[in-house]
Amino acid sequence: MMQPTHGSNRILRPVRDWFIWLTLLLAMFFNMIPFGRFPGIPDAVALVLTFWCIREPFKIGMAAAFLIGIVMDVSSASVMGQHSLAYVLLAFTASGLSRRFLQFPLLQQALQILPLLLAAQLVMLAARMSVGAEFPGMEYFLESFSAALLWYPLTYLLLLPQYQPIEKDENRPI
Amino acid sequence: MISVVGHQPPPFFHRGPAPFARLMFFVALSLLLLVLDLRFHTLELARQGVALVTYPLQRLANAPLEGLESWGNYFSSLVTLEKENTGLRRQQLTTANLLLRQEHLELENQRLRALLDMKARQPVTSQVAEILYAARDPFARRVILDKGMQHDIATGQVVIDELGVIGQVTRVFPMLSEVTLITDKDQAVPVMIVRNGLRSVLFGAGAGNLELRFLAANADVQAGDVLVTSGLDEVYLPGLPVAKVTRVDRDTSYAFARILCEPIPGVERNGQVLVLGRREALPPAPPELESKDKPSKGRKGAK
């Protein structure tokens, strides 16, 4: 029987709204870097979006996912609605399960993020294949695996501002 | 399911509609967008608006790669440049023979055409553009060019490189344009076999290959045949090299032969390309009529 331990959770400062949007913007920037058809480049937007939906389900939700999806649709030259559909479903599941995810240690979280990201990819695949696009090959799903691998470092990176103490005090442990 | 968002909030913590209702709303909206874009192609204006906003970010994202490339060029040694130079000179000499005769042939062709009372071939304007990058979409084969509406690029224009046709402009943004490559599954090119003049339509077959569909199992096609554009569609100029037949499977249980081809030009490479102008001003016909008349007009017609 697994007990919720919250062992890895420190008391964090509240997140700033602009930081959430900045990280999402940076993720979009990463997705726009032209890597060509090189397989296994993670969808940074999906990953960062999932992260904030799990951490801050009241701040980032389906509306944000929809808007970001539209921008990704245009910038990746895919069909309008393809990314937004996948991201909205991703945001719904991630924010609905956020309490469940957060009680696991980070590596187990990564393991549970993987099916979420794969499902989002499957939604996009279904949306395109249903109207006769070409199958991109099994290496298409590699990007979810590389994204799940990034979960551990990404968590530390995105929580870094919240780890900072309010005022510097050398005697305080946090 | 332990959930914060899933619980119905007390009225004094009201947070708007329930998550499931919101999900349904956004899913319906996304599906609507999908249908509108795939079936009716009516979202081009919205797409252009978003593209205008994301354009600076996109150019910025392109900068690291461009910088890397220019560094690489800077450090490419003198030896490779010299080698390339001699190679190009040799190539120029070998093609000079063809080029010199081309003028003569063109004149002869003109005379013959005049003699036979045929319509003269139209000269075509062209613009040099550069392929910026391949679009991220893994389901289609598209590249982005660095010229758009500002440079009078229009949809339907044919894009070639030094070896042959690489695709057709399918979407134009203010500063960029999107080219669907001939290897895309939705792209159709009307072609002709050089050896015997057999006409057909070439489709993308995935994995960078092409396919000649709907040719009878006993059609006169051999591996190694070169396909050029037939020009019947009034979009592609006739005689541009497109692909080479690599394999012909004649299975008697099917009515059609399975003919695989590979593109002649460097379709999936980056570099300079030429955007050809429209062949002739199309008559002012209603758009639905136009697309019905020309089933081989690439993406627009293939849909």
Distance CA B188, CA B167 (A): 9
Please give the angle made by the CA atoms of B217, B219 and B220, to the nearest 5 degrees.
140
Tokens of A21: 């949007």
**E strand spans, chain A:** none
- The helix-helix angle for A106-129 and A44-55 (nearest 10°) equals 130
When CB atoms are compared, the residue of A57, A62, A129 closest to B4 is A57
Q: How many pairs of residues across A and B have Cβ atoms under 8 Å apart?
A: 157
Q: What is the pLDDT of residue A86?
A: 94
Residue A74 has what pLDDT? Answer: 87
Nearest to A77 among B23, B43, B137 (CB): B137
Query: Which candidate in B15, B33, B139 is best for mutational testing of the A interface (most A CBs within 10 A)?
Result: B139
| Chain A, window 19-48: residues with a beta carbon less than 8 angstroms from a chain B beta carbon | 25, 28-37
Pairing between strand B165-172 and B209-212? unpaired
Amino acid at B204: G
In angstroms, the CA B83 to CA A13 distance is: 61
What are the distances in angstroms from CA B254 to CA B206, B211, B215, B216, B222? 21, 16, 11, 9, 18
How close A167 gets to chain B, by Cα (Å)?
A: 31
The residues pairing with B243 across neighbouring beta strands, listed in sequence order, are B227, B263
Token representation of residue B238: 């006739």
* Domain boundaries defined on chain A: 17-29+41-162
Contact B299, B181 (CB under 8 A): no
3-state helix, strand, coil in chain B (%, to 5): 35, 25, 40
Q: Which residues of B touch A65 (CB under 8 A)?
A: 26
Partners of B263 in the beta sheet? B243
Which of A 86-125 lie inside 8 A of B, CB atoms? 88-89, 92, 95-100, 125
- Chain A residue with CA closest to B53: the answer is A71
In chain B, the domains with their CATH numbers are 18-74 (no CATH), 127-280+295-303 (2.40.10.340)
A86 Cα distance to chain centroid: 12
Closest-CA distance, A117 to chain B, in angstroms, reads 16
Write down the pLDDT at residue A115: 93
**Residue B178 belongs to what H/E stretch?**
strand B177-181
Residue B37 per-residue DSSP state: I
Cα(B212)–Cα(B204) distance, integer angstroms: 9
pLDDT tier at B298, thresholds 50, 70, 90: very low
DSSP secondary structure code for residue B175 in this structure: S
CB contact under 8 A, A76 and B136: yes
Contact A54, A79 (CB under 8 A): no
> Residue B50: how many CB atoms within 10 A of its CB?
17
Predicted TM-score (pTM) of the model is 0.77
DSSP state, A15?
Answer: P
Q: Give whole-number Cα distances, B191 to B7, B165, B211, B225, in Å.
A: 62, 11, 11, 12
- Tokens coding A22: 């900045």
**C-alpha distance from B31 to closest chain A C-alpha (Å):** 6
Contact residues for B68 (Cβ-Cβ < 8 A; gap 6+): none
Taking the Cβ of residue A84 and every Cβ of chain B, the question of whether any pair is shorter than 8 Å is answered with yes
- Find, in chain B, the residue whose alpha carbon is nearest to that of A129: B139
Q: At B117, which amino acid appears?
A: D
B184 neighbourhood in chain A, CB within 8 Å: 134
Nearest residue, CB atoms, B38 vs list A37, A57, A131: A131
B70-79, B103-112, B247-256, B280-289 — which is least confidently predicted? Answer: B280-289
CA dihedral B145, B149, B153, B159 (to 10 degrees): 20
Nearest CB among B2, B65, B207 relative to A34 is that of: B65
Give the pLDDT of chain A (174 residues) as one tens digit per residue.
Answer: 444 444 445 677 888 889 999 999 999 988 888 777 778 888 899 999 999 999 988 888 899 999 999 999 888 888 888 999 999 999 999 999 988 888 888 889 999 999 999 999 999 999 888 887 778 888 888 989 999 999 989 988 888 888 776 676 777 665
